Amino acid sequence: MKRVLVLLLALAFGHALERGRDYEKDKVCQELSTLGKDDFRSLSLILYSRKFPSSTFEQVSQLVKEVVSLTEECCAEGADPNCYDTRTSELSIKSCESDAPFPVHPGTSECCTKEGLERKLCMAALSHQPQEFPAYVEPTNDEICEAFRKDPKGFADQFLFEYSSNYGQAPLPLLVGYTKSYLSMVGSCCTSAKPTVCFLKERLQMKQLSLLTTMSNRVCSQYAAYGKEKSRMSHLIKLAQKVPTANLEDVLPLAEDLTEILSRCCKSTSEDCMARELPEHTLKICGNLSKKNSKFEECCYETTPMGIFMCSYFMPTAEPLQLPAIKLPTSKDLCGQSATQAMDQLAERLRTKMPNASPEELADMVAKHSDFASKCCSINSPPRYCSSQIDAEMRDILQS
C-alpha cells in the first residue's frame, strides 16, 4: 500500500509542481517527507524523463535540481508561507529566458506570453510526444559495472533518464518497479565475487517484469497515439489477419477487451493492473482462437501468460482465404443505430480483400469511409444519393 500511496502522490506532484497552490504544496511536501530526498529526486527524474523524452540528460537533470531545491527550501519547518508560490513563479520566469537550461518545447514561447498562475498552468501542461521506437540499448555487464563503480549515483541517474524517456508510456508503477529492481541488481552484482553468475540469476528473476514493462510500453504507446476507437479497430484487424478462419464474433470481443484493459491500465497508479489484466486476456485469446488456428494453439502452450501474449501479439499475418467479392455496408447500415457494427464488419471484409495491407492502413480506410458516411448522413441527403456517394467513395479507396 505504501508504494501505491507514493505513486498516487507522484502523479499529483507531476501536475502540481508549477501551480503554486497551498493544497498542491502540501502534496509535494508530504511526498518529500514520505520518500526522503534521494527517492524524491529519483522519482522526479523518472517523471520528467517521461514528460520530456526528446530532451537531453543535462536539461532534465537541471530541471530536477531546481525542483528538488525549491521543494526542500519551501517544505522546511518555518519556511515562509509564500515560499512555494514565489519559487515556482521564479522557475516559470527562468524557463522563459532564451538561455534557460531546461527542456526545450515549442509551446514554451506561447506560455511565456501569459502571466502568473496562467503561465504556470501552461508550463505544467507542456510535454513532448513519446518516442515512437525505443532506442535504449543496454550496455554489457562489464560496461555497466565499470560505470557503476566509477560513479554509482551518476550511473543510476543516467539509467533512470534513458530508460524512462524510452519506455515512458509504460504505466508508472511498472516503470518505477522495474527501474528500482534493475538498479538493485546492478548494486548487488557489481559488488559480487561472481558478477556474471549474479547477473544471469537476477535477470532470470526479473524477466517477467521486464517483458511486462516493455510490452506495456508498446501497447500503451499505440493506444496513446491512436485513441480508443482507432486502437480497438487496429487490434480487431490484426487479429482477423492472423486468424482468417475466425468469425467476427471470435475476434471482436478480444479487440474490445484489450482496448478496455489499455484504457484502464495505461494511466493507472495500481501496481498490479497490467499484471492482473493481461493474464486474464490471454485466457480469452486461447478460449476463442486456439481451436481456430494451429499457431494460436501453439502459443497457448507457452508456460507464462506473458509468453502467450507475446507469441500471439507478434504472430505474423496468415495466408489469405479465397473469398467472394467484398460487400460494402449500405447507407441504411451506416446511418442507423448499428453504424459501429457496420464499421466492424467493413474492417473484416477489407481485411480479407486486402491481406497485405497493414492494420494501420486498413483502420485509416475504415475511418475515412466512416467519416464520409457520417457527414452524408448528418446532412440528410436523399438515401439513394447518399448510398451511391458512399459506395463511390469506397470504390475509390479500394482502387487507390
* pLDDT recorded at residue 399: 54
Closest to 360 (Cα-Cα) out of 241, 190, 246, 189 = 241
* pLDDT recorded at residue 1: 33
Task: Give the tens place of pLDDT for each residue, 224-234.
Answer: 989 999 999 99
The C-alpha cell at 66 is 531546481
Q: For residue 128, give every residue at least 6 positions away whose Cβ sits within 8 Å of its Cβ, in sequence order, or none.
A: 51, 52, 53, 54, 55, 103, 105
Q: By mean pLDDT, which of 81-85, 154-158, 175-179 is the weakest?
A: 81-85
What sign has the CA pseudo-torsion 295, 398, 335, 358? positive
Q: By mean pLDDT, which of 20-29, 45-54, 136-145, 388-397 is the weakest?
A: 388-397
Q: What's the pLDDT band for 394 if we cut at 50, 70, 90?
A: low
Torsions phi, psi of 283, nearest 5? -60, -40
Res 2 pLDDT > 50 = no
Q: For residue 254, give every residue at least 6 positions away whose Cβ sits within 8 Å of its Cβ, in sequence order, or none.
A: 235, 239, 281, 284, 285, 288, 289
Mean pLDDT of the region 295-300? 92
What sign has the CA pseudo-torsion 141, 143, 145, 148? negative
11 in Cβ contact with 32 (< 8 Å): no
Quick one: three-class SS letters along 94-144?
HHCCCCCCCCCCCCHHHHCCCCHHHHHHHHHHCCCCCCCCCCCCCCCHHHH
Res 338 pLDDT > 60 = no
H helices of the chain, where?
2-16, 22-35, 37-51, 57-75, 83-95, 108-111, 116-125, 141-150, 152-166, 172-189, 195-226, 228-242, 248-265, 273-289, 294-299, 305-313, 331-335, 339-353, 359-378, 383-399
How far apart are alpha carbons 199 and 194 in whole angstroms? 9
The C-alpha cell at 373 is 458516411
Task: Give the tens place of pLDDT for each residue, 242-281.
Answer: 988 888 889 999 999 999 999 999 998 888 899 999 999 9
Higher per-residue pLDDT: 66 or 374: 66
Round to the nearest angstrom and report the end-to-end CA distance of the chain. 55
Q: Spell out the domains of the chain, with CATH numbers in brackets.
A: 2-125 (1.10.246.10), 141-223 (1.10.246.10), 227-313 (1.10.246.10), 331-399 (1.10.246.10)
Q: Scanning the structure block, which residue is given the C-alpha cell 492472423? A: 242
Q: For residue 55, give every residue at least 6 positions away whose Cβ sits within 8 Å of its Cβ, in sequence order, or none.
A: 103, 104, 128, 165
Most confident of 15-19, 183-187, 295-299, 349-353: 183-187
87 in Cβ contact with 74 (< 8 Å): yes
Taking each helix axis from N to C end, the angle separating 37-51 and 57-75, rounded to the nearest 10 degrees, works out to 140
Amino acid letter for position 263? S
